[in-house]
Amino acid sequence: VTQYFATWPWQHWAEERPSAVALSFGAQCVDGECIGEQRFSWAEMSHRVDEYAQGLIEQGVKRDQMIAVVAPNSIQVIWLILATLRIGARYVGLNPKNTEIELNEQLARLKNDYIWYPARTVHQFTTGKRLHLLQPEQPRIVPVTWQQTRAATLTLTSGSTGVPKAAVHTAENHLASAEGLLEVMDFGSDDSWLLSLPLFHISGLAILWRWLYRGAKLVVTEPACFEHSLTMVTHASLVPTQLQRLLASKHGKGSGTLVLKQVLLGGAAIPASLTDAAECIGISCWCGYGMTEMGSTVTAKKADASGGVGTVLGNRNFMIKDGEVYVQGASLCLGYYRNKMIFPACDGEWFATRDLGEWRGNELHILGRADNMFISGGENIQPEDVEKVLMTHASVRQAFVLPMDDAEFGQRPIAIVDTDSVLSNDVIASLEIHMTDNIVSFKRPIRYLALPKELATSGIKVSRKQLSEWLAQQS
Ligand code: 4YB
């Protein structure tokens, strides 16, 4: 077992490189200009984390207790996470875009001891005592030592059906994940990673741990400043739709201002046409495949012409059995948290991802999720198969294929698409021609609907469960 740090990672860097910039935050875009950036060195950060940690202790927080945070990314959330770790407590982030009812259901299941949310929050939360970020008058030493095997974070993962599960990771799990990725992706201590994904999702948390592992710079900006902030960092993690939006924006049109060197993509199928377009303006793309339970990325590769997701990273292992992907390794979570206990995430040695995979051309290819498959007139349809073809149409940004009940066929495929322009009859006709040219008839969608805005932006991924609930309401 690797001992990654002898003390808290930020204290380690505060001793090693006290005045190096650790954090940049507060930058805002006003009339195209970026103003108000503030910075913390590792020494300042380490001091500040100790203060907030003591503030938490003064409010009653004890080791192993759980602090829920319901907020979009901000510098406050960073302080809360680090201060929570510092006192040996546990962090769980919840998506603030969920409804009050959903959030209260999630909190009731988590049985969190404390809760933090921004002052402007309108929701009323029913579980956990409210916390504040406070700096004590008299700083004292926080009496908790660094233990990398302590349960540190919980991350909710919805899967495609049912109630979200809370995957518990230790610092060791997260650092093992960071180490394996940074063996292949070049991220030096002078580089900066944009906090480009939410801290209530594993993709955002993984950014934090890569930053701590390397002692590099983390950049936190307002969501409104997102595209501009991509011009101020060397690294970012993006879901494919974010990269697509960047390429369509003025920054992506070769304005020459990007310093962005490398982008790590993941979370969903990554079209090669997208990475091609990004490489054309000098952004080097990495395609990753991962999941919450493994502390994010499991396989990755430098983008190329194929749609595969590369080979396994250090500290993980994978195998394919009966067409499904199984994974294991030091980044695998301790288990799922339920009723104040931690239950193993797998039956045996291997975690069953429920993803269908294939080893082809010396790399892993993800074919879709086992539970998305449906049968139409006796034929199997893997929705991701059809989606891939839809996405090769020039005006399609995102596509989802779902089954709709049908008296004759049992179920038939329906497409829900996000297109550049409104989904007019002309666009639909062009999509139909595209599908006739490129896919066997039983897989062709029999109807095209426009992706509703509220579903496109509620999280980092469009939820198939929400889509199918929405679809059921359409006549
Ligand atoms: C995929 C997939 C792929 C996941 N092709 N299906 O740090 C990172 O790894 C990162 C960087 C940028 C953007 C996202 C990430 C992530 O963490 C993604 C991790 C994630 O999505 N976790 S999840 O628990 O929410 O969903 C996992 C599932 O997502 C997998 O089991 C797959 O079904 C799917 N998925 N990467 C096709 N490249």
pLDDT score of 256: 55
Distance of alpha carbon 75 from alpha carbon 69, whole angstroms? 13
Please tell me which residue, 116 or 160, carries the higher pLDDT value.
116
Closest CA to 69 of 22, 25, 106, 24: 106
Distance 296 CA to ligand 1 centre (A): 7
pLDDT score of 257: 63
Best residue among 203, 292, 388 to mutate for probing ligand 1's pocket (most ligand atoms within 8 Å of CB) is 203
Side by side, which strands form the sheet with 235-238? 38-41, 21-25, 217-220, 192-194, 235-238, 262-265, 284-291, 296-302, 311-312
pLDDT score of 267: 96
Quick: pLDDT tens for 391-446: 999 999 999 999 999 999 999 999 999 999 999 999 999 999 999 999 999 999 99
Place of tokens 């579903």: 455
Which residue's C-alpha comes closest to atom 30 of ligand 1? 291
Best residue among 291, 320, 327 to mutate for probing ligand 1's pocket (most ligand atoms within 8 Å of CB) is 291
Rounded to two decimals, the ipTM of the complex is 0.99
Entry pTM = 0.96
Distance of alpha carbon 301 from alpha carbon 290, whole angstroms? 12
Phi, then psi, of 350 in degrees rounded to 5: -115, 140
For residue 254, pLDDT beyond 70: no
Quick: pLDDT tens for 204-235: 999 999 999 999 999 999 877 888 888 889 99
pLDDT score of 253: 63
Which residue's C-alpha comes closest to atom 13 of ligand 1? 266
Collapse the DSSP code of 426 into the 3-class scheme (helix H, G, I; strand E, B; otherwise coil) and give the result: helix
Ligand 1 neighbours (beta carbon < 6 A): 157, 202-203, 206, 237-239, 264-270, 288-292, 296-297, 309, 353, 355, 366, 369
Question: Mean per-residue pLDDT for 298-304?
Answer: 98
Distance 333 CA to ligand 1 centre (A): 15
Angle, alpha carbons 219-220-225 (nearest 5°): 105
pLDDT score of 371: 94
For residue 65, pLDDT beyond 70: yes
SS3 helix, strand, coil % of the chain, rounded to 5? 30, 30, 40
